[in-house]
Structure 1
Amino acid sequence: MTFVPRVAARRRTVLFPLAVSAALALSLLPAQSASATDGAGGVTAAERGASAYLQSIRDRPTALAAFFRDLPKGGDLHNHLSGAASTELLLRLAAEDGLCIDRTSSTASPPPCTGNTRPAADAETDAAFRRQVIRAWSMQDFKPGEESGHDHFFATFGKFGEASWRHPGRLLAEVADTAAEQNQFYLETMLTPASSGAAALASKVGYDSDLARMRGKLLADGGIDTLVRQAKSDADATMAEFRTAAHCGTARPRPGCALPVRFISQVSRSGPPERVFTQMLLGMELARHDPRYVAINLVQPEDAPVSLRDYSLQMRMLDYLHGQYPAAHITLHAGELVPGLVKPEDLRFHIREAVLVGHAERIGHGVDLRHEDDPQGLLRLMARRHVLVEVPLTSNAQILNVSGPEHPFQLYRQYGVPVALATDDPGVERIDISHEYQRAALTYRLDYHALKDLARASLEYAFLPGRSLWRDRDGYRVVPECSADRPGHARPGSRCAAFLASSAKAAVEWRQEAAFGAFEQRAVRQAF
């Protein structure tokens, strides 16, 4: 979508319980960060004021929640559409579509509702049934017992799956609306294009270990071209449904209408090799032919038997395809593992292979970093190559039970590896991006300048076309075209205005800088 984002007119305040006491954690925050600077290389008075205000509200939960809600928070780069939509929306869609829900497993299924199933619509009037389904379809009230957080989390997708695929545009409308209301300026969300068609083509062609030959077979007779057309048609339908649901183009559009959105093609890593390669190739072709699709990613549990067995093979597939489609972006789930979940040798190489063999420009999760061979060398490599890590803190805590000092979040930052906060599956997790920023600040004693750097990084490493607003990725110094202008100013000079008009990425970054300026002014007024 090509939209001009704006600050949402309406807000929603959501308070979340955190494992760390806000008063205790914020009392330990430093007054300012020596490494966090503005584009000119120094900390501004307005930034110091924002940091001072953050310090002053450490024992005021309502003010603290408002601070993180209003904080400009870049973009969400790690977001699965079906898992991002709220459980309440999925349940409402299930009722509208006449679906059934199993009384025992809470799994949705097509009608008729017979045997051990009952209509999903019953959840609108039966409060106990509604609670049962919401708990089964999300992490709401989850308490480890017979089932681990990992197993419960991944099981939710199979339970609500029947309710999630029919209306992707309505899911997107809610997800984009939430992101805009949370003061984000961009969204990359993951979906699986032409899934059934890709599976059929893969089954027909079969696997060939000669990847060049297999690619030729898939391209022959218009096989992949047909899937590309189907995926583009599906995207058209999704966007039409989105615009209708969000009231775009009407007198009262929802905030999500103003949010630039791009799609990342999901590849199901637990599938057979022929299907994995077919989905990879389709994603690469889509990135070439449809600007709405900007990258590919491997999804499904990294610890699943097939995922582990074929991990290195899948990296070699990406290595080959990267040579054929060098302009297509690659971001990979890698290192979403912990000791005990897999055998020790499976913890030693996943992130490294994703970077060196799979050509990942960004890594999702990266939790098992300390168990990789030569983790310090890997950190230096990622910093040198500017490989960003997409960090969903709540997801890592819920699925892997990793949080606080055990999480490598600070280790990445200490070595200069770029980091951005992300939500992953906020609908399943029952959180939003403001929760993630607040959690990061309280857990790791981050000041305002560090939070600002995280937000900037999320746009800097976004797969939007055009040059960045920043001349380099380390110091956030403005490009020469805009060096005479204050970033985010409402009326940039003619040279800077022309540059912004030529770059979708720089234009979004400029809008975030304007939001930072307004946010800091409000914080200064509140602090003093």
Structure 2
Amino acid sequence: MKKIILAFSLGVLSASALPVLAQDKNHTAQKNLQATRQYYAKLVNPSSPQLAELTMLMTMMPKGGDIHHHYSGAIYAETYLDWVAQKGYCIYRDSDTNLKQEKFKVETRTAQINEANKSCLKVDAIRKDNAMYRELMSAWSVVDFDNHGHTQLPPDQHFFNTFGYFSSIAKYSTNLGLQILKQQAKNENIQYLETMLRSAPVTENAEFAARLDALTSTSSVADMQQAFAQFADFLAQDSATQKKITDFIKEAEADAAGIDDADFSLRFQTYVSRNSPASKVFSSLYSAFAASQANPLIVGVNIVGAEHALIALRDYQLHMQMFAFLKQRFPTVRLSIHAGELALGIVAPEHLQSHIRDAVQIAGAERIGHGVDIMHEARPDQLLGELKKRNVAVEINLSSNSFILGIPAQAHPVTMYMRHQVPIVISSDDPGVSRNNISHEYMLFASRYQPSYDTLKKTVYNSIRYSFLSQQDKAQQVKLLDQRFLQFEAAAAKLAQAAQVKF
């Protein structure tokens, strides 16, 4: 009988102790949160910023997801060189138009890779030639671009040129590349990556190409939709097109094999190039929409390329109408669109009037990539209100905006978006080309604009909230992020104590 009473008493004590334990944990978590707030505020104090310690804190901080991310621009040049060596390819040291060779470009044609071709160097030879190695690294990324005087291209041209140099080797092993990016992400406390891996396949047809390529942004919407419908109907029935889409999906599944684990998830956006002929853009967009609707691994569709290039400017509204048309045919597809990656002077003023608005109102974008020229759009105050009302998130890429567009820190509209309650997400864009990482992007965000810790934390959660994951997957990611912030804030509270030591 005594044993029964004792057991009952212990059971009552255990049950009654649970709320106390929960209260203690909550109390400790609140203390750590407050200590982290104070420590962070000290580091970003504009009168005495402590950038080294802030960089450490941003490296430790959970970042949630990186959802504006280009696979080929995320791999560092050193890795691409390793792959060139493994394939036995060579790289040109000089350009020769007659021989169709371009300096710094990878040669993959077997007939051109031989000992007699002295202008095409193997990687070992490049690495032994320090001058050539540094020159190549500067061509394949933005390293050394602005830290010394030298002959150089305009920044935007230099940035976009890099992709042409290493594009042929970028496809070497996408699964291996994704494993590398996964490890880099986990090292930075990122749990979700939504990357733009490859463009959707194109189907060429002379008859439909003639019709679409005759369209312009000033064509009537009725004429556009008629041409779109005819080509889309053909693509839907064309067995070759459908096989390309099926193969594209299978390739994506193979690329992602073995990547997801308990602490990390990967999804893809597919995309089209905005500087191709209209018929190719539409054909590729059709494949992109079809693939995304057919497979949950491909969570969204985008359009990429220099927005200030001639074709991109000429066909901008035409492209947005393509998105609108295909969204009606594939209604569940999610859209993030590069828009407003422009600045006054890079294009004539009339091209700053409506790119963000058209991406939202015509194409139906749920997220905007860059959105830098918002202040120049027609009726920007109304547009800001509409972005807030529609809950459209803007993907902020501080490093690439500074390099490509020359936007000074305080001229960037990120704080304007925040003041007008337009949701923002911090992302890395092309960290391999920019030679940085997402921790650095958060360091720039925190040091330049001094958001409160609560605002910073909300911005991290936005990377999950505005991702294109399913609602169920988002809920799981938020739980994981909650746990990571509890651990981070406990560690930050200890750092805050150490920071009080005088030296």
Task: Give 3-state SS (helix, strand or coil) of 2:68's partner.
Answer: coil
Q: Give the deviation of 1:205 after TM superposition.
A: 4.7
Q: Give yes or no for the alignment of 1:225 onto 2:215.
A: no
* Partner residue, 1:73: 63
Cα separation, 2, equivalents of 1:452 and 1:436: 14
Cα separation, 2, equivalents of 1:371 and 1:109: 43
Residue by residue over 1:115-160, the C-alpha shift from the partner in whole angstroms, topping out at 9 and shown as x without a partner, is 5321234234333322121111000010385411111000000111
Q: Give the deviation of 1:90 after TM superposition.
A: 0.8
* Partner residue, 2:500: none
Query: Structure 2 stretches of 5 or more lacking a match?
Result: 1-25, 95-102, 213-223, 498-503
* Partner residue, 1:187: 193
Question: What amino acid is the match of 2:61?
Answer: L
- Asked if 2 retains the 8 angstrom alpha-carbon contact of 1:303 and 1:342, the reply is yes
* Partner residue, 1:234: 251
Q: Give yes or no for the alignment of 1:166 onto 2:172.
A: yes
* Partner residue, 2:477: 508
Q: Give the deviation of 1:171 after TM superposition.
A: 1.6
* Partner residue, 1:91: 81
Task: Give 3-state SS (helix, strand or coil) of 2:407's partner.
Answer: coil
Cα pair distance change 1:378/1:194, threshold 3 Å: closer
Q: Give the deviation of 1:523 after TM superposition.
A: 1.7
Task: Give 3-state SS (helix, strand or coil) of 2:285's partner.
Answer: helix
* Partner residue, 1:496: none
TM-score by length of 2: 0.83
Question: What amino acid is the match of 2:305?
Answer: Q
Q: Out of 221-230 and 268-277, give the one that drifted further.
A: 221-230
- Asked if 1 retains the 8 angstrom alpha-carbon contact of 2:199 and 2:272, the reply is no
Cα pair distance change 1:204/1:80, threshold 3 Å: farther
* Partner residue, 1:263: 268
Q: Give yes or no for the alignment of 1:117 onto 2:120.
A: yes
Question: What amino acid is the match of 1:176?
Answer: K
* Partner residue, 1:21: none
Question: What amino acid is the match of 1:164?
Answer: A
Cα separation, 2, equivalents of 1:382 and 1:274: 30
Q: Give the deviation of 1:203 after TM superposition.
A: 5.4
Cα separation, 1, equivalents of 2:299 and 2:478: 18
Task: Give 3-state SS (helix, strand or coil) of 2:470's partner.
Answer: coil
- Number of residue pairs the alignment of both structures matches: 436
Cα separation, 1, equivalents of 2:168 and 2:262: 26
After TM superposition, the structure 1 = structure 2 runs for residues 320-359 of structure 1, keeping only pairs within 5 Å, are 320-359=325-364
Q: Give yes or no for the alignment of 1:522 onto 2:491.
A: yes
Question: What amino acid is the match of 1:93?
Answer: W
Cα pair distance change 1:510/1:218, threshold 3 Å: same
Q: Give the deviation of 1:506 after TM superposition.
A: 0.5
Query: Structure 1 stretches of 5 or more lacking a match?
Result: 1-39, 249-255, 467-502
- Asked if 1 retains the 8 angstrom alpha-carbon contact of 2:200 and 2:272, the reply is no
Q: Give the deviation of 1:193 after TM superposition.
A: 4.2
Cα separation, 2, equivalents of 1:381 and 1:47: 34
Q: Which one of 386, 396, 403 corresponds to residue 398 of structure 1?
A: 403
Cα pair distance change 1:142/1:130, threshold 3 Å: same
* Partner residue, 1:51: 37
Question: What amino acid is the match of 1:235?
Answer: A
Cα pair distance change 1:335/1:194, threshold 3 Å: closer
- Asked if 1 retains the 8 angstrom alpha-carbon contact of 2:235 and 2:242, the reply is no
Question: What amino acid is the match of 1:348?
Answer: Q
Question: What amino acid is the match of 2:450?
Answer: R
Cα separation, 2, equivalents of 1:203 and 1:415: 48
After TM superposition, the structure 1 = structure 2 runs for residues 484-499 of structure 1, keeping only pairs within 5 Å, are none
* Partner residue, 1:283: 288
Q: Out of 87-96 and 424-433, give the one that drifted further.
A: 87-96
Question: What amino acid is the match of 1:217?
Answer: F
Q: Give the deviation of 1:405 after TM superposition.
A: 1.5
Task: Give 3-state SS (helix, strand or coil) of 2:238's partner.
Answer: helix
* Partner residue, 2:105: 107
After TM superposition, the structure 1 = structure 2 runs for residues 290-305 of structure 1, keeping only pairs within 5 Å, are 290-305=295-310
Question: What amino acid is the match of 1:49?
Answer: A
Q: Give the deviation of 1:204 after TM superposition.
A: 7.3
Q: Give yes or no for the alignment of 1:126 onto 2:129.
A: yes
Cα separation, 2, equivalents of 1:163 and 1:397: 28
Cα pair distance change 1:347/1:60, threshold 3 Å: closer
Residue by residue over 1:408-464, the C-alpha shift from the partner in whole angstroms, topping out at 9 and shown as x without a partner, is 000000000000000000000000000000011111112321210110111100000
* Partner residue, 1:18: none
Cα pair distance change 1:62/1:410, threshold 3 Å: closer
Task: Give 3-state SS (helix, strand or coil) of 2:335's partner.
Answer: strand
Cα pair distance change 1:44/1:386, threshold 3 Å: farther
Question: What amino acid is the match of 1:293?
Answer: I
Q: Which one of 411, 431, 444 corresponds to residue 426 of structure 1?
A: 431
* Partner residue, 1:149: 155
Judging by fraction of residues, say which structure has more helix: 2
TM-score by length of 1: 0.79
Cα separation, 1, equivalents of 2:192 and 2:160: 26
Question: What amino acid is the match of 1:335?
Answer: G
Cα separation, 1, equivalents of 2:412 and 2:68: 18
Please give the root-mean-square deviation of Cα atoms over the aligned residues, in Å.
2.1
Q: Give the deviation of 1:340 after TM superposition.
A: 1.4
Question: What amino acid is the match of 1:172?
Answer: L
Rg bigger for which structure? 2
- Asked if 2 retains the 8 angstrom alpha-carbon contact of 1:122 and 1:129, the reply is no
Question: What amino acid is the match of 2:178?
Answer: L
* Partner residue, 2:183: 177
- Asked if 2 retains the 8 angstrom alpha-carbon contact of 1:203 and 1:274, the reply is no
After TM superposition, the structure 1 = structure 2 runs for residues 208-223 of structure 1, keeping only pairs within 5 Å, are 208=212, 209=224, 210=226, 211-223=228-240
